Structure 1
Amino acid sequence: MAEVQYTEDSIKSLDWKEHIRLRPGMYIGKLGDGSAHDDGIYVLVKEIIDNSIDEHMMGHGKTINIKVSDRKVEVRDFGRGIPLGKVVDCVSKINTGGKYDSGAFQKSVGLNGVGTKAVNALSSYFRVQSFRDGETKLAEFVRGEITNDAKVEKTSERNGTAISFEPDDTVFKHYHFIPEYLENLLWNYAFLNAGLTINFNGKKYHSENGLLDLLKRKTDEEALRYPIIHLKGNDIEVAMTHANQYGEEYYSFVNGQHTTQGGTHLAAFREAVVKVIRDFYGKNFEASDIRASIVSAVAVRVQEPVFESQTKTKLGSINVAEEGPTMRTFINDFLKKELDNYLHRNSQIADALLKRILQSERERKEIAGIKKLANERAKKANLHNKKLRDCRIHYDDKKGSDELLEKTMVFITEGDSASGSITKSRDVQTQAVFSLRGKPFNCFGQTKKVVYENEEFNLLQHALNIEDGLEGLRYRKIVIATDADVDGMHIRLLLLTYFLQFFPELVRNNHVYILETPLFRVRNKKETIYCYSDEERKAAIEKLGNKPEITRFKGLGEISPEEFGGFIGEDIRLEPVILQKDTKIKDLLRFYMGKNTPDRQEFIIDKLRIEKDVVDKESDAPILV
């Protein structure tokens, strides 16, 4: 093999857009297809809105209009508008922007001047228009290349900036926007910017009470043990309560940015809550008993925040201000004064909080014996766990690139044939398989004791490494992979019951997915098309014509490992499990998994639909089943 020469020709210089398109992960994190809340297409939307939010924070513009269709995003704010002579530079020159001037932008979300340029470079179409003091300037781009640099014109429009873009589908393959993810993003902006109004696709998002409103939206008020505690100070806001669920639930923010992976501010908050409550009651409670079932939100504003990645999902170690206190000291001092004062002034809430802690303590002690035995049993099984075919890279390893860690997933399957197909075709680096013996136990209404008493659930808990919270979660995605028949749907429900009952934070933090596999294979001698819906089947028949062969897949075991490899690789289709705003977990599980047979019967009968699908109606081709 000839040696590759290392010469002057080996040294390449990329312009700004080429570098962004070659290494998009450096700028927007993972690409994805929109099935995860932090996929790149949502980062693009957020980067544009962040600029409008920064204008609002500086006191310019109380309204932002946003429209998102299948392929296009439009954002119009009513801030100061980009200075007209710098419109093109601000969206197409790296290291150009107003946020380098700390006098013009204080405590803004982004300080690196990259966000809008990344959106421009990764869009098949990008349009920016600034309105400023009766004049306007428009520019248009295709994949970062300017196509229209219009002259400044007169205008009667209000000051502000309008940006529209279409993500490039050669970069974001098969992408689609999930409305619930966009709604959560916009509600967070509204909660963190009291008085701001966001108009999104005809719906109004507005909050007057900040994080108090956020927790009201995120919780079932009937399940709360005491009214939400809401505390505000200079550059800090906190809301907290305790519910009846298992686990801990946190929403953390820095300068209006939702830090989904937490960071120093969240770690400081969790630590400070324990310290203040121990001091208030004069008892050395276990930290886990104090924080069990907590639901809280914390937001801080700091100058020049240091995030651990460009996508700003985790805050690094910083001081609150130049020469100011550390984040740990700042939050601890705030809670030591404000939370302690609140509990002294509200004795009924203090009593209710104490009862919740004592209940958690009792529950922990009740399962201590069985927990020890189950963990010893699980450790022995893990030495040779036949249920788990593990992968080499894990989400909690902190080794390897963020892109690789994001790809880590475990498929939960039922039966040897399905798990066999996935095991043979998976990527052993990032994809694991956990095989169920049969239908799992219906754990609705059970206490957490059942997680340890049931061997299968206990082994699953250990495989995921979630016994003590999500910090040690071994896989970014937990993928339920069952057949698309009645039995498969039942297993899916039983697994979702397990996660929602005992580990709801897995669902709330977008870690649980359903694997979509093709329902049909449509082929002729030249081409094979796999179809995930009836609409795709019809389109495939129309494309191939002349009565193609149509196969209906009933179960995962029917799909050969060679075929399966194409469905769990780069083009994998995953449906996220999302909790709606008004979803009450207890009521949801009671309806589907409880003993309310007449209600469920009535629902099923009302929705029942019978189909005879032996011959394809459009093509008269037989469907092979």
Structure 2
Amino acid sequence: MSKEKQNKAERYGNTSIKSLKGAERVRLRPAVIFGSDGIEGCQHSFFEILSNSIDEAREGFGKVIEVTRFKDRSIMVKDYGRGIPLDYNENEKRYNWELVFCELYAGGKYKNNSGENYEFSLGLNGLGSCATQYSSEYMDVTVFRDGMRYDLHFEKGENVGGLKKQKWDYESTGTIIKWRPDLEVFTDINIPLEYYTEVLRKQAVVNAGLKFILYDEESDRVFEYCYENGIVDYIKEVSGDKAFTDIQYYETSTRGRDREDKPEYKLKMQIAFCFNNEVNLLEYYHNSSFLEYGGAPDKAVKNAFVYVIDKFLKSQGKYNKDESRITFQDIQDSLILVSNSFSTITSYENQTKKSITNKFIQEAMTEFLKEKLEVYFIENKVECTKILEQVLVNKRSRETAEKTRVNIKKKLSGNVDISNRVKKFVDCRSKDVNKREIYIVEGDSALGSCKLARDAEFQAIIPVRGKILNCLKADYDSIFKNEIIVDLLKVLGCGVEIKSKHNRELSTFDLNNLRWSKIIICTDADVDGYQIRTLILAMLYRLVPTLIQVGKVFIAESPLFEIRTKDKTYFAYTDKEKNEIVSKLKGKYTILRSKGLGENDPDMMWQTTMNPETRRLIQVVPDDIKKTEEFFDLFLGDNLPGRKSYIEEHGHKYLDMIDVM
């Protein structure tokens, strides 16, 4: 054994084993308690304090919870409950404030001699208040109860000054906790406003009638959330007037155990749902905690809905011969469902409470839902038929979309080279993506002119032959049978962004695979040229919208007029520019209406359209995405009444542009 190794062996003895004590248990290992030492862990520390106020309100003490987000990232939670007991505890022979704020696995939610406090609790593990206190730069606690005001102050996990207590004439009992998460514990404490609004909205959903008020000092805004009828009101809000069934609401209570040798516990379930063709949503809550990953309730919902709907599809002969059975995805595409369950014993996947694993909860919820769904389908034949038919439509649409995705991958895979040629595509020499430009030009004649005029080092060209398919009206199957579109996508190299029904992506898109720094649309300055340009933009907007959003798409302006004098030629891109140029000329001049791109000589093409020093490029940027969508739909989509109405109202403004004799 080497000397160094021997020294190490001697140093590793009985005194080497150490335990973390007090605040160190959280401050040095926050991820063990909060799941992360980053922003997610910091957010969870806030939720632990909020949970205690929610538990108190759900027991019937207080109907309002106030949260304040301060500019310096400190947080305050105020409730109007009974107030946390902080005085001396005869049973434990210690002060309650020490148990609550300085002792992990202590609290008022464990079973005691008087029965069960907090039958259905968010914060049953007794970690929250203490762990959050330990992980704070400071924490101030104020409690009003028993005719007294109690105050505590902590710094970096240590109490400073003990418990202060004085008689107080208050309007309401309650607890106020203000603290600042510690940057020595968390790598990031800047909890975004969106987190608070989302969490408080969700808690209002599952705690019917409880009002949450958020004060944001940074934006000087106030947010209020309250759903008097809980998950039913929430589903009404989400669904709007687009649902094609009524909202169903089921509620029950039962008792059971996860294993024969485990204790029996109480379970309460609330489930609401409706079917909607434009919006879909699945949200699961347990003891008010949002279950991001679901667990037992998610499995129950999937099992019950697939079982019942598949059963009715079979019994009514809705499946085609040899057709595969539905999956839950086909149901989910049109389903808005929220479950809100409570249990006196809960097995969370971990302390962050994003999933529960109780076997009894899964089995009880599955059987309850199956029973209720079967009754619903039998008693509501009209709605039953609508649901079955829509689920089959979703299923067949999914299968078609999957085939389309596979076909697209085949068509767009591989490099554009000798073995995978694109007709009439002219590449450039440079392999530097930051320099390469692709010109999409109108027809073979423009290809010839641009090819002669370009800088072959970094400028490539691909022609489009005639007016391409209107991608806003065509289905994906038609689009990807179109040779021109497939060729354009091959040349771009970044794949496509396909979104099937309800935003389920079947995308092959990867911006990192884009082969060009600029995509330049170059068409004639006439009505036909404008229409071709619009159709190319519609194609990019439908199939690769990210390229527009990140500013990769440009339009090359072509001059409308060529003004010749004895010594020089001028180019004007508008009537106003033409008049300005003409007003400054002294001698004779000739004005020529600019010809199509294919008729321009190479020098003119280089100077006006391709030379980075003198060309005019318009970057295509959707300043208002909603407005862009509306106008694309109006002019190129299926909105025929809207198009007619728009032309009737605004058509007179464009009379001089109509290309008729």
Question: After TM superposition, is the score higher than 0.5?
Answer: yes
Give the corresponding residue for 1:128. Answer: 141
State the shift of 1:120 in Å. Answer: 0.8
Q: Secondary structure at the match of 1:61?
A: coil
Give the corresponding residue for 2:284. Answer: 252
Encode CA deviations 1:118-170: one digit per residue, 9 max, x unaligned: 21111111111222221222111112111232332112222221111111133
- Distance in structure 1 (CA, Å) of the matches to 2:16 and 2:539: 57
**1:270-349 correspondence to structure 2 within 5 Å:** 270-281=302-313, 282=315, 285-287=325-327, 288-316=329-357, 318-319=358-359, 326-349=360-383
- Distance in structure 2 (CA, Å) of the matches to 1:446 and 1:91: 63
2:275 to 239, 242, 247: 242
- Distance in structure 2 (CA, Å) of the matches to 1:167 and 1:481: 41
Seen in structure 2, the aligned counterparts of structure 1 residues 330 and 122 have a Cα distance that, compared at 3 Å, is same
Encode CA deviations 1:9-35: one digit per residue, 9 max, x unaligned: 4222211311211111111122334xx
1:171 to 175, 182, 185: 185
Letter in 1 for 2:225: Y
- Distance in structure 2 (CA, Å) of the matches to 1:332 and 1:218: 25
- Distance in structure 2 (CA, Å) of the matches to 1:500 and 1:217: 30
Seen in structure 2, the aligned counterparts of structure 1 residues 64 and 468 have a Cα distance that, compared at 3 Å, is closer
Encode CA deviations 1:341-381: one digit per residue, 9 max, x unaligned: 33344444323323311321332354464455456789999
Seen in structure 2, the aligned counterparts of structure 1 residues 111 and 172 have a Cα distance that, compared at 3 Å, is same
Matched-pair contact (CA < 8 Å) for 1:66–1:74: yes
- Distance in structure 2 (CA, Å) of the matches to 1:442 and 1:354: 33
Letter in 2 for 1:95: Y
- Aligned residue pairs total 440
Letter in 2 for 1:225: F
Which segments of structure 1 move beyond 4 Å, counting only runs of 4 or more? 371-381, 414-418, 441-462, 467-470, 478-482, 485-488, 493-501, 585-589, 591-597
Q: Secondary structure at the match of 1:307?
A: coil
- Distance in structure 2 (CA, Å) of the matches to 1:274 and 1:369: 23
Give the corresponding residue for 1:80. Answer: 82
- Distance in structure 2 (CA, Å) of the matches to 1:216 and 1:100: 37
Give the corresponding residue for 2:248. Answer: 229
Q: Secondary structure at the match of 1:16?
A: coil
- Distance in structure 1 (CA, Å) of the matches to 2:98 and 2:474: 60
Letter in 2 for 1:64: I
**Structure 2 gap segments, 5+ residues each:** 88-95, 216-221, 254-267, 320-324, 416-430, 436-459, 462-468, 521-537, 551-623, 637-641, 643-661
State the shift of 1:51 in Å. Answer: 0.5
- Distance in structure 2 (CA, Å) of the matches to 1:267 and 1:143: 42
- Distance in structure 1 (CA, Å) of the matches to 2:299 and 2:408: 30
Seen in structure 2, the aligned counterparts of structure 1 residues 6 and 206 have a Cα distance that, compared at 3 Å, is same
Pairing 1:98–2:139 present: no
Seen in structure 2, the aligned counterparts of structure 1 residues 196 and 443 have a Cα distance that, compared at 3 Å, is farther
Letter in 2 for 1:590: E
Matched-pair contact (CA < 8 Å) for 2:291–2:354: yes
Q: Secondary structure at the match of 1:98?
A: coil
TM-score under structure 2 length normalisation: 0.57
Give the corresponding residue for 1:562. Answer: none
- Distance in structure 2 (CA, Å) of the matches to 1:81 and 1:497: 57
- Distance in structure 2 (CA, Å) of the matches to 1:335 and 1:156: 51
- Distance in structure 2 (CA, Å) of the matches to 1:204 and 1:374: 47
Matched-pair contact (CA < 8 Å) for 2:67–2:75: yes
Give the corresponding residue for 1:29. Answer: 35
Q: Secondary structure at the match of 1:149?
A: coil
Matched-pair contact (CA < 8 Å) for 1:444–1:589: no
Instruction: Please say which structure displays the higher CA radius of gyration.
Output: 2
1:188 to 178, 198, 202: 202
Give the corresponding residue for 1:119. Answer: 132
- Distance in structure 2 (CA, Å) of the matches to 1:461 and 1:110: 46
Matched-pair contact (CA < 8 Å) for 1:240–1:295: yes
Encode CA deviations 1:524-571: one digit per residue, 9 max, x unaligned: xxxxxxxxxxxxxxxxxxxxxxxxxxxxxxxxxxxxxxxxxxxxxxxx
Seen in structure 2, the aligned counterparts of structure 1 residues 375 and 142 have a Cα distance that, compared at 3 Å, is same
State the shift of 1:254 in Å. Answer: 0.8
Pairing 1:199–2:213 present: yes
Seen in structure 2, the aligned counterparts of structure 1 residues 174 and 487 have a Cα distance that, compared at 3 Å, is farther
State the shift of 1:251 in Å. Answer: 0.7
- Distance in structure 2 (CA, Å) of the matches to 1:116 and 1:270: 36
Matched-pair contact (CA < 8 Å) for 2:309–2:388: no
State the shift of 1:487 in Å. Answer: 8.4
Seen in structure 2, the aligned counterparts of structure 1 residues 343 and 20 have a Cα distance that, compared at 3 Å, is same
Give the corresponding residue for 2:610. Answer: none
Letter in 2 for 1:81: G
Give the corresponding residue for 2:525. Answer: none
**Structure 1 gap segments, 5+ residues each:** 34-38, 320-325, 382-413, 419-436, 502-513, 515-584, 600-625
Seen in structure 2, the aligned counterparts of structure 1 residues 66 and 480 have a Cα distance that, compared at 3 Å, is farther
- Distance in structure 1 (CA, Å) of the matches to 2:41 and 2:629: 36
**1:347-496 correspondence to structure 2 within 5 Å:** 347-367=381-401, 369-374=403-408, 416=433
Identity, % of aligned positions: 25
- RMSD of Structure 2 on Structure 1 (CA): 4.6
State the shift of 1:115 in Å. Answer: 1.3
Give the corresponding residue for 1:58. Answer: 59
Seen in structure 2, the aligned counterparts of structure 1 residues 447 and 341 have a Cα distance that, compared at 3 Å, is farther
State the shift of 1:225 in Å. Answer: 3.5
Matched-pair contact (CA < 8 Å) for 1:452–1:458: no
Seen in structure 2, the aligned counterparts of structure 1 residues 150 and 328 have a Cα distance that, compared at 3 Å, is closer
State the shift of 1:253 in Å. Answer: 0.8
Q: Secondary structure at the match of 2:20?
A: coil
- Distance in structure 1 (CA, Å) of the matches to 2:186 and 2:543: 33
- Distance in structure 2 (CA, Å) of the matches to 1:207 and 1:341: 28
- Distance in structure 1 (CA, Å) of the matches to 2:336 and 2:432: 38
